[in-house]
Amino acid sequence: LSCGSDLYFKFIKSHSAKEIWDRLAEKRRRGSHSPAPDHEEAVQPSPSPPLPDDDEVPIERATRGHLDYEILNKAVEEGNWHDAKSFLDNHPGAVSAKISSKGDTALHVAILAGHVKIAEHLVEMMSEESLELTNEFGSTALSLAAISGVTKLAKKMFEKNPKLVTIANEHEDGLLPVIVASLYGRKHIVRYLYSVTPLEELSPEKGDPPGERGATLLNCLISAEIYDVASDLLKHFPHLAFTKDHDDNYTLRI
């Protein structure tokens, strides 16, 4: 299978994707020995070190050394919304800051740790623009949600910023969120992301080279046995069946 072999293994073996997946797996394993995901039990917050006033910190300046945000990072990783919210109340600009050594925002960290409710709270607090922030691997938080298969979170993010579904990973293969989800066979979120991704983004005229993006999605959909979406995509763009995907394969060879 085209998407199920070359592209899939290239994607997960690439530095960026492997790092993301390893971190997801590691944090989920760690979570099995810690409070249940989305734990929001009221506890006394740890004291926060003083930071400069950042009530109006623009995104481009909210990138202080990640060590300044250790308390926030730890609280989000552990699913402690009480401590995280306390920190954010004192330092509002931190919601758009890179708080980990990998350039993750608090939202990235929450998704990687599997804390969906905390992630939803963070989406509510973030601006449309800050939802477009990427980590050092070029991944938006929506890309991580696509890998995790968290559809309700993806919906919340899209409703706040529809542009997110058209933002490709900046590194490696430059894949749209719907393609990332299809690589991992996340059927439910694939169907949702496909329904909200503008069709023109998947047309034979789009991509570099033209058509590669749509053909790659088509082959991934077939490999993941998401035939209803594959059929709909082909109905709109029959020419994709004769277009090379990322690995120079054609749908008719699958």
Q: What's the rounded Cα separation, in Å, for the pair 115 and 118?
A: 6
Q: What's the rounded Cα separation, in Å, for the pair 61 and 97?
A: 8
147-159: average pLDDT: 97
Cα of 158 vs its chain's centroid, Å? 12
| Tokens representing residue 58 in the block | 């623009």
- Mark residue 175 as left, alpha or beta (left: phi above 0; alpha: psi -120 to 50; beta: remaining): beta
Q: What's the rounded Cα separation, in Å, for the pair 202 and 192?
A: 15
Specify whether the CB–CB gap between 194 and 225 falls below 8 A: no
pTM above 0.85, yes or no: no
For the chain, helix (H) and strand (E) counts, in that order, are 12, 0
Domains in the chain, ordered, with CATH?
1-22+138-254 (1.25.40), 34-136 (1.25.40)
What DSSP character marks residue 103?
A: -
85-107: average pLDDT: 96
Query: Taking 80 as the threshold, does the pLDDT of residue 50 lie above it?
Result: no
Dump pLDDT digits (tens) for 67-82: 789 999 999 999 999 9
| Tokens representing residue 21 in the block | 């997946």
| Tokens representing residue 109 in the block | 């960290």
Query: Taking 60 as the threshold, does the pLDDT of residue 45 lie above it?
Result: no
27-56: average pLDDT: 40
When the pLDDT of each residue in the chain is averaged and rounded to a whole number, the result is 80
Place of tokens 């960026």: 16
pLDDT of residue 65: 60
pLDDT of residue 174: 76
210-224: average pLDDT: 92
Q: In 3-state terms, what secondary structure has residue 110?
A: helix
Q: Would you place residue 20 in the very low, low, confident or very high pLDDT band (cuts 50, 70, 90)?
A: low
* Lowest mean pLDDT, pick from 100-114, 123-137, 177-191, 235-249: 235-249
| Tokens representing residue 101 in the block | 């050594």
